[in-house]
Amino acid sequence: MPAPSPQQPVKRSPFQGFLPFFWLALASMGGILLADRVAIPAWGWLAGFLLCLLALILAWRLPERLALTHHLRRLTRVDQRLPGAILAVALCLGGWRYAAAQPAITPQHAAYYNDRGTVQMVGTVIKPPDFRDAVTNLTVAVESLEVLGGFAQQVNPAEISGGVLVQMQPGSAWAYGMRISVTGQLRTPPDGDDFSFQDFLARKGIGSLMTNPRVNRVEFDRGNPIKAALFTLHDRAVATLQTLFPSPEADLLAGILLGRDQGLSPELQAAFRRTGTAHIIAISGFNIAILAGLFSATFTRLLGRRWGALAAVSAISAYAVFVGGDAGVVRAAIMGAMGVLGGMFGRRQNGLNSLGLAALGMALINPNLPWDVGFQLSTAATLGLVLYAQPLEEWFVQFAARRISEEKAQKLVGPVSEFLLFTLAAQVMTLPIMIYHFGGVSWITLLANPLILPPQSLVMVLGGLALLTGLALPGMGQVLAIIALPFTRYTIRMVTWLARLPGSEVAYPSFHVLWLVVFYAVLFLLTLLPPGARRLTLKKIFSPQVGLLMLAGLTVLVWNRVLSAPDGRLHLTLLDDRGTLLVQTPSGGSVLIGGGESGSALNQALGEMLPSGGRHLDLLIIGSNAREDLLGLISVIKKVPIDMALWAVDPEVNQTSRTVVALLADQGVPAQPASAGAVVGAGEGLRIEILWAGERGALLWLTWENFHAVIPTGKVGECWDHLPAPPNALFLPAGLNVDDLPLEQITLWAPEVILLSATEADALPLQAALTGYPLVSRQVHGWVRVSSDGMGMWVRGQR
């Protein structure tokens, strides 16, 4: 009689079971996010906290015979293992913590003196300096502040505190712990439509920005000695990598192992961004999660489950200390360590509880964490390992057992998990977040990650061993570096090759945060459902009706792509009231002139005008340094790949222009100055020449075959005599006064169309002065487009 086959264990959803800390963390996060949206004072949240707590106590303690007790029990759900009132308490606690953490901008706060004249402040550099090519950033904790002019000071200078970001020219030596005296003007950080630098700094405790100040060193070694020692060790480790490895391999390892990616060339950084693999060149939750899974698997095999988990946590902690102990690394290490401890008993429920406990504690300590990208990546990567690492291992064993023996499959699953499956589990959870935040990620990332991620465990482990050994025994470190070098070089060569593939510039379109929520909701719903219900749900999702809808959507997408293909004509589209102009060449190239005031409006316009799935600019021409002509670029530069930028004006005249310069440098976009007489060729005989350039504007001349257009940008002044020929199309700049209108020249040129970009108040007198001329105003149309085949010309507008 054959032996009965062992009964297969019933598979349960990882969300089934008692998960108090996981749900408490979600509730507190919900309270923090709600407090950010709803202006409820801290005492209001505290009152809600006390009411919920009181209702819970009364529901527990009041006699059951009272009708009030039954109402309270039903309201608080006190009979459940995790009462609903406890979740309400956590929500109110999170809201109170966020509201209480918001600084009051009083005369005792440095931000109170923003935009109020010159000040002299004394403070300490509380973070390692951020050295960039164009600027050095110092985070300074203010100890005293004195107003030098323009505003009457109300309090004692020594009573003023707050955080300030000081930006200065590169070249000087600065260090953590320096006490410095800074003289300059405090400013409110810029607040764009799609990206608020003001909110970004505020969540880091910084309320003021000071650019190009006068700085004097007052005192050294004022910082925490333990932090100072860690930062010194960090600098020594970077120097050791530069000794052991050639460049750019040393720079890549400095980013992967130590979080310092400034040494990578702009071209290589752009290649990593384009292929969607930028997350590997800086320490993030993704890297720590991979290390956590690797340490846990390795030590568990060597020492057993419990001692292996403790050894893995110790290794993660040592790594966090070694790389400098910065706040983002510590958060990622805590997440990774809690995930490892949660899995000590082999149940995913423990991992979810541990992860929730870590997130709850950190969010209550720093309520600004939910907006920190590093925190989001840490949580997502660790959650991916907790939820999906074990199912992926089980799937691999079943798949491999069909081709080899089950015993061999069990032995093989360890290395495969460490070098592939753990990476895949973390990648599934983090990729949507990276695409949402960083933008510009190409479709090529679907090919790049499977090719580049598997050897990253070897890059981190072998590179880390070479670094540790090199610090103590340089000779032995050099031997290990030779072993690690091929994997690091493979990463760089593969990324560079993939970034050069035809069509790699076609990036994922930007999307609303709601789609991010929908993705994770669907993913968690499928994870939450038991296997039988999951199969039924997937069967419904992939039904014929859904297939028809997908086919219809694909048809619309294809036709949209066909209709947006180049038509052999030149198109000049006036996008806004500031004169922002999109030039599309006959073969599909694109040139953007200006940026306008609204990043969201410019992003939307480019999304409509540029080919579907191919948002890309060959050239960006900046002919005005006015704030109103640059604000729109702050978000566009991050979302739309740009091959080259051209500055026809001085980019160092104000904070907005300097921000654009820094963003271009961060995105790896080469930016070149251009003076009067410079000519740019855009292919097929299209030429753009700078006829005149001043301090605040420039005059551009566009020529293609028999078509000519004059394009003033910014404040052009008296420069209308520089035109080499009568233009077919005349673009009038924003801010033009009637007295400055060159009516005599316009009459002499007799242009076929005059395009006016102005606000409603400015447009009325100009329209009156140009009565009888072929005028087309932006006030009448949403956008205005001039098209030419080189001989004739057509004008089209949108109502």
Answer with the one of 177, 205, 223 that is the final residue of a domain.
223
Structure tokens that stand for 489 in this block: 């070089």
Q: Highest mean pLDDT: which of 158-172, 364-378, 543-557, 774-788?
A: 158-172
Give the C-alpha separation, 347 to 19, whole Å.
12
Q: Is residue 777 part of a domain?
A: yes
Range from 95-99, 313-317, 585-589 that averages highest in pLDDT: 95-99
For residue 6, pLDDT over 60 is answered with no
Domain closes at, from 223, 249, 267: 223
Does residue 294 lie within any of the structural domains?
yes
* Strand 619-622, strand 645-647: pairing: parallel
Are residues 303 and 162 part of one domain? Answer: no
For residue 580, report the phi and psi dihedrals to the nearest 5 degrees.
-60, 130
Q: What's the mean pLDDT in 652-676? A: 84
Helices (H), 2-119: 20-37, 42-61, 67-76, 84-101
| Average pLDDT, integer, range 527-543 | 65
CA distance 523 to 508: 20
| Angle of CA points 36, 41, 42, to nearest 5° | 95
Residues 717 and 640 in one domain: yes
Cα separation of 282 and 291, whole Å? 14
At 232-247, the pLDDT tens digits run 777 788 888 888 888 7
User: How many CB atoms within 10 Å of residue 593?
Assistant: 27
Q: How far apart, in whole angstroms, are the C-alpha atoms of residue 356 and residue 353? A: 5
Chain centroid, CA 782 distance in Å = 30
Q: Which residue has the higher pLDDT, 566 or 274?
A: 274
- DSSP reduced 3-state for 284: coil
669: in domain: yes
CB 647 within 8 A of CB 673: yes
* 504 and 613 Cβ atoms separated by less than 8 Å: no
Structural domain total, the chain: 4
- State the pLDDT confidence band at 456, using cuts at 50, 70 and 90: confident
Residues 300 and 218 in one domain: no
pLDDT for position 684: 67
Residue 563, in any domain of the structure = no
| Same structural domain, 206 and 342 | no
* CA dist., res. 257 & res. 135, Å (int): 24
Q: Tell which residue, 523, 498, 561, 368, has the closest CA to residue 431.
A: 523
pLDDT tens string 597-655:
877 678 767 876 777 555 688 889 988 888 888 888 887 887 788 888 888 888 887 88
Do 193 and 130 fall into the same domain? yes
- Residue pair 58/75 in contact (Cβ under 8 Å)? The answer is no
506 pLDDT above the threshold of 70:
no
Domain end among 366, 382, 416: 416
Indicate whether 343 belongs to any domain.
yes
| Range in 103-112, 186-195, 438-447, 466-475 with the lowest mean pLDDT | 438-447
Q: What's the pLDDT score for residue 307?
A: 78
Query: Does 10 have pLDDT greater than 70?
Result: no
DSSP letter for 750, please. -
DSSP 163: E
Gap between the Cα atoms of 252 and 259, Å rounded: 10
Q: Does 54 lie in the same domain as 142?
A: no
Q: Does residue 667 sit in the same domain as residue 635?
A: yes
What span, in angstroms and rounded, lies between the C-alpha atoms of 210 and 181?
Answer: 13
The Cβ of residue 44 has, within 10 Å, a number of other Cβ atoms equal to 16
pLDDT averaged over the chain? 77
pLDDT at 5: 43
* pLDDT, position 4: 45
pLDDT for position 550: 61
In a domain, 206, yes or no: yes
φ/ψ bin of 503: left (φ > 0), alpha (ψ from -120 to 50), beta (otherwise) = left
Q: According to the model, what pLDDT value does residue 267 have?
A: 75
Residues 177-217 have pLDDT tens digits of 889 899 988 888 886 555 677 777 877 788 888 988 888 88
pLDDT at 747: 82
Does residue 155 share a domain with residue 75? no
Q: In this prediction, what percent of the chain has a pLDDT beyond 90? A: 1
pLDDT, tens digit (0-9, with 9 covering 90-100), for 74-86: 787 777 778 888 8
User: What are the residues whose beta carbons fall under 8 Å from the beta carbon of 795, sequence distance 6 or more?
Assistant: 753, 776, 784, 785, 786, 787
Residues 288, 336 contacting (CB under 8 angstroms) = yes
User: Percent of the chain at pLDDT above 70?
Assistant: 78
pLDDT for 17: 61
Q: What is the CATH number of the domain that holds 599?
A: 3.60.15.10
Q: What tens digit of pLDDT does each residue of 298-326 get?
A: 777 777 777 777 787 787 777 776 665 55
pLDDT of residue 66: 75
pLDDT at 657 over 50: yes
Confidence band (pLDDT; 50, 70, 90) for 439?
low
pLDDT value for 228: 79
The pLDDT confidence band at residue 387, using thresholds 50, 70 and 90, is confident
Q: How confident is the model at residue 3 (pLDDT cuts 50, 70, 90)?
A: very low
Task: Report the pLDDT value the prediction gives residue 8, as an integer from 0 to 100.
Answer: 47
Residue 247 in any domain: the answer is no
State residue 11's pLDDT score.
53
**In the prediction, which pLDDT does 532 show?**
66
The whole-number pLDDT of residue 1 equals: 40
Residue with tokens 């568990």: 300
- Mean pLDDT of the 109-135 span: 83
pTM over 0.75: no
In this structure, the number of other CB atoms found within 10 A of the CB of residue 339 comes to 32
Q: Which residues pair with 698 in a beta bridge?
A: 693, 713
Among residues 389, 386, 438, 439, the alpha carbon closest in space to that of 414 is found at 389
Q: Are 641 and 440 in contact (CB under 8 A)?
A: yes
Rounded distance between C-alpha atoms, residue 664 and residue 642, angstroms:
9
Q: Which residues contact 201 (CB under 8 A, 6 or more apart)?
A: 163, 165, 189, 207, 209
150 plus 213 within the same structural domain: yes
Question: Do residues 198 and 231 make contact, with C-beta atoms less than 8 angstroms apart?
Answer: no
Task: Find the mean pLDDT for residues 714-724.
Answer: 73
- Residues 262-292 have pLDDT tens digits of 667 777 877 887 777 777 776 655 566 667 7
Beta-carbon contacts of residue 421 (< 8 Å; ≥ 6 apart): 389, 392, 393, 396
Residue 231 within a domain: no
Side-chain half-sphere exposure of 287, counting CA atoms within 13 A = 28
* Claim to verify: residue 125 and residue 55 sit in the same structural domain: no
DSSP conformational letter for 617 = B
The Cα 174–Cα 125 span in angstroms is 9
* DSSP assignment string, 652-706: TSSHHHHHHHHHHHHTT--EEE--TT-EEE-STT-EEEEEEE-SSEEEEEEEETT
Residues 74, 114, single domain; the answer is no
CA distance 375 to 264: 24
Q: Which of 297-306, 324-333, 469-478, 786-795 has the lowest mean pLDDT?
A: 324-333
Residue 376 has a pLDDT of: 79
Q: Hey, what are 29's tokens?
A: 């996060």
Q: Structural domain of residue 35, as residue ranges? A: 20-101
Same domain, 594 and 676: yes
One DSSP character per residue, 94-113 reads HHHHHHHHSPP-STTBGGGG
Compute the CA torsion angle 571, 574, 580, 583 (nearest 10 deg).
0
Closest by Cα among 726, 695, 729, 725 to 713 = 695
- Mean pLDDT of the region 119-130: 87
pLDDT at 346 over 60: no
